[in-house]
Structure 1
Amino acid sequence: MNEIRTGQKDGNIFSKEMDRRAFLQKTTLAASATIGLSLANSLNLISASAASSASIMNSGGKGPDLVFPVISDIHIHNSSNKTLEKFKTTLEQLNKAVPKQDAFLVVGDLTDYGYTSEYDKFMSAYHAHKQPGAVSMFAIGNHDYWNGLSTADAQKRFLAKTGMESIYYHKVIKGYHFIVLGTEDGLTEGTFSVEQINWLSEQLKIAQADDWKKPIFVFHHQPIKGTVYGSEWGFSQNRDLFYDTLKEYPQVISFSGHTHYPLDDPRIIHQKDFTSIGTSTGAYLWLDAGRIQGEVPEGADVLNQALIVEVHNNKVLIKRRDIHCNDWTGDPFEISLPANKQKFTYTEDRDKKAPFFTKDSMLAINQEMTSATGMAIMFTQAKDELLVHDYKVVAIHANSGEVVKEFLAFSEFYKDPVPNPLTLTIDGLQANTAYQIEVHALDAYGNVCSKPLKALGKTKTTVAANTVL
């Protein structure tokens, strides 16, 4: 029998603010960075899902005790059906990958603005594909408040349209505890009140008393700062109280959305006192700042990912699904039961090995793409035991030895397939000048290769007739 315990706090008057996603709505995804383009017909391609196989996906032996998908940030839009079609594809694909679901979780931002028409689109698609035996559990996200209603009325609309009993609640399914939390207003970073966190504390005590050996699943839209990849977008208010409440329960597996950061990065799972994992997005990709491809790189609106959770008597498997290419990405994350923080494997210090370039790696100047003020480079991607995340590119004046240009670029690990070789453009150079180019590889944990690739190149000369020699 499924149990439910609910709790809710009255909200304050809605106050909309501009955030990165609001900014994105006012820009064109197609108008992204022109640098970082891969050569379509050059060398081999690295498959992002090459490490996964049917044998890896099978846990072996007896089937799981519990199975449920987790998705987030669907962003159903009032005036466009693009994300709606992606949502339908997600549901169809998950039904094929997981034909018997015990629950279905959506961790916030079901809609783009929380409009009635957006909820109607969402629920219509969901009910058309929902498995009869799956218990529906939805969390409210900040975008679900952006409709001009008061906070309280926006919450009422969410509850009325989704059928949820409260914005935060506790259910027990097949003996496993699910605690769904709700951000309490439309602020981008999220608000979780002391009242709600105290309620969470009580529910965790109940779950542990029921069976301390079993995992406790907790869901909340914004991540806890200092945990998963992208958690810089998490909440600050009551952050430590929230974290410390979960800290007492190593069996907690906490799922968050909001960031749109991809599942491919190993930091998407984090273990220290408990397990945290990000849920990516069903709408569009977002990435770290400071790289030349930008936070919303070329093709960002293609990304569509999901998690599938399998619970066995001695482990939890969390499988990463690329909906956009109908395949798995990476190996499943495996969490041993009963949970023991001394045996956590997905810790912040788990990767000490730096990436490296193989002996046959090459760095070349692409003369066809080189101009008087810019130089195009093409190089073989480095290797790493987990993920090559970035490259630091340095241009050094060949005569003076002065560093004239330095920047970070993504390895474009988020693409399927990952481009190899990778082509980047170095702008802001002087005409008819020789430069020593260095390419340093960095992995997801900041380890830097010991031997960078190096090449000597020269920009072209501009003549009076505006031609290039």
Structure 2
Amino acid sequence: MKNNKLNHEGEESLQNGLFKKEIDRRTFLEGTTKIAGMALGLTLVNSLNSLPVSAASSSSVFHSLGNKPDLVFPVISDVHITKYSNGYTLKKFINTLEQLNEVVPKQDAFVVVGDLTDYGGASEYDYFMSAYNVRKQPEAVSMFSAGNHDFWNGLSTADAQKRFLDKTGMESIYYHKIIKGYHFIILSDEDGRNDGTYSVKQIEWLGEQLRIANDDDPKKSIFVFHHHPIKGTIYGSEWGFTENRDLFYDTLKEYPQVISFSGHTHYPLDDPRIIHQKDFTSIGTSTGAYMWLDSGRIQGEVPEGAHALNQALIVEVYNNKVIIKRRDIHNDDWTGEPFEISYPANKHNFKYTEDRDKKAPFFTNDAMLSIVNEKTTATGLTIMFSQAKDNLLVHDYKVVARNIETNEVAKEFLAFSEFYKDPVPNPLTLQIFELKPNTTYEIELHALDAYGNVSNNSLKVLGKTLDGVVLKK
């Protein structure tokens, strides 16, 4: 119980640390204008002043209590090196390598989980390897997996695989290495299908390697790497593979000590669902190229600023635990609390389960929601509001605009909290379009966390669109 309490407090400190920019009430009100004399009798909630300025990367969290790990290795994916030597992805890759060398000066391995290139071109591989070879640590074992983009070069499947092996120096499309007594099993996509291909042959080979690793030492973690995630596991696994999915999953589920790393989704590491535990541990590896997100939010699946994202994992292995740290390369800082997995592995003690969070986000007592007067138009309103709080992460807001005169819902949508930005914007500004001119609307706002829990309280404000003629196209 004591450990659970400590873990919970750590998660709360993470959410507090996300909001690095804060404003006071006067500054907030100066940026907005409320409709005079139209009080709704509501309790405004979520104080900006209640959000302490604390960086999530406090040094005490990230130095692993002074103990020296048995094994340390970074994991990255989806680098997408383009054929242009001055391409932004190459520059980001170089920055990644140099920053990881600074924060992890003694690496035992370096893993890239697929999509090294954008189209599997010879020059793309050359740029990748040239940047990597001059910055790799000589003691680190290089392990690369092939992703679907690495096949998009117009070659036959066999020739595309051969190019991958020739250019990277990997021994096979899938292989097994032992580093300092720990087992690394690397799998690869077998062709360029966007939804991924892992054949029965490859999965049966995986099963054999898992048995070997388990027989060697059942108390140690086993690291498995594959480009596409397994559907129904981590955040973004809706983009996982379908063919042979159950065979793949059932092969891993016999070994709770497995930690499975996947790429492909480009989903950010900030969301707590990026790690998933049920029968074993799965974790996503984000991207070194550009971010992708859930559909159905007004910011879109590739929101503004998505190309800035660049993230990595750093894995520290001890005799009784594995610590996985999340690194914002683009921000030269850590994001979130490290994940800690205890060993010997016991699935009944897993804490990063899909039902681990039942607490709803909430707005505290003096939060603010206002209409941004200077951005009001005949068909649109802009709202500014204090971000809600949550024990893990506020992921979305549900916005409902209701016509006061007819009581009909005129607009309803989901919007990201923009948790993926550094710093997370607080207050957050959202636009509401496709409204009627000269009409008063009640805007109501609920917060949702990463696990779909909805806030019990809400923010409300009245806003009126401008009078005017709307030109039809």
Q: TM-score, normalised by structure 2?
A: 0.88
Aligned partner of residue 64 in structure 2, secondary structure? coil
Letter in 2 for 1:71: I
Partner of 2:418: 412
**Structural mapping, 1:281-296, within 5 Å:** 281-296=287-302
Partners of 2:253 and 2:109 in 1: how far apart?
A: 25
Instruction: Confirm or deny that 1:180 pairs with 2:186.
Output: yes
Shift of 1:455: 0.5
Instruction: Confirm or deny that 1:68 pairs with 2:73.
Output: yes
Partners of 1:313 and 1:174 in 2: how far apart?
A: 12
Partners of 1:312 and 1:374 in 2: how far apart?
A: 55
1:350 to 352, 356, 359: 356
2:366 to 354, 360, 364: 360
Letter in 2 for 1:281: T
Contact 1:49 1:330 (C-alpha < 8 Å) held by counterparts: no
Instruction: Confirm or deny that 1:335 pairs with 2:357.
Output: no
Partner of 2:238: 232
Shift of 1:400: 1.6
Shift of 1:58: 1.3
Partners of 1:205 and 1:40 in 2: how far apart?
A: 56
1:52 to 57, 65, 84: 57
Partner of 1:222: 228
Letter in 1 for 2:362: F
Offset from partner CA, 1:196-219 (integer Å, 9 cap, x none): 000000000000000000000000
Partners of 2:199 and 2:413 in 1: how far apart?
A: 40
Offset from partner CA, 1:324-349 (integer Å, 9 cap, x none): 01000000000001111000000000
Instruction: Confirm or deny that 1:455 pairs with 2:461.
Output: yes
Contact 2:402 2:408 (C-alpha < 8 Å) held by counterparts: yes
Shift of 1:59: 1.1
Letter in 1 for 2:68: G
Instruction: Confirm or deny that 1:131 pairs with 2:144.
Output: no
Runs of 4+ in 1 over 2 A off after TM superposition: 38-52
Partner of 2:305: 299
Partners of 1:338 and 1:71 in 2: how far apart?
A: 26
Letter in 2 for 1:456: L
Range with bigger deviation, 40-49 or 113-122: 40-49
Aligned partner of residue 61 in structure 2, secondary structure? helix
Letter in 2 for 1:430: K
Q: TM-score, normalised by structure 1?
A: 0.89
CA 1:138–1:316 in 2, change beyond 3 Å: closer, same or farther? same
Instruction: Confirm or deny that 1:152 pairs with 2:148.
Output: no
1:209 to 204, 209, 215: 215
Shift of 1:436: 0.6
Unaligned runs of 5+ in 1: 1-37
Unaligned runs of 5+ in 2: 1-20, 29-47
Partner of 2:387: 381
Partner of 1:107: 113
Aligned partner of residue 89 in structure 1, secondary structure? helix
Instruction: Confirm or deny that 1:77 pairs with 2:82.
Output: yes
Shift of 1:51: 2.5
Partners of 2:376 and 2:201 in 1: how far apart?
A: 60
Contact 2:253 2:280 (C-alpha < 8 Å) held by counterparts: yes
**Number of residues of Structure 1 aligned to a counterpart in Structure 2:** 428
Partners of 1:396 and 1:196 in 2: how far apart?
A: 55
Letter in 2 for 1:457: G
Shift of 1:62: 2.7
Partner of 1:14: none
Contact 1:49 1:329 (C-alpha < 8 Å) held by counterparts: no
Letter in 1 for 2:205: W
Partners of 2:82 and 2:360 in 1: how far apart?
A: 42
Shift of 1:279: 0.1
Range with bigger deviation, 87-96 or 52-61: 52-61
Letter in 2 for 1:385: N
Partners of 2:270 and 2:318 in 1: how far apart?
A: 24
Partner of 1:195: 201
Offset from partner CA, 1:276-309 (integer Å, 9 cap, x none): 0000000000000000000000000000000000
CA RMSD of aligned residues (A): 1.8
Partner of 1:93: 99
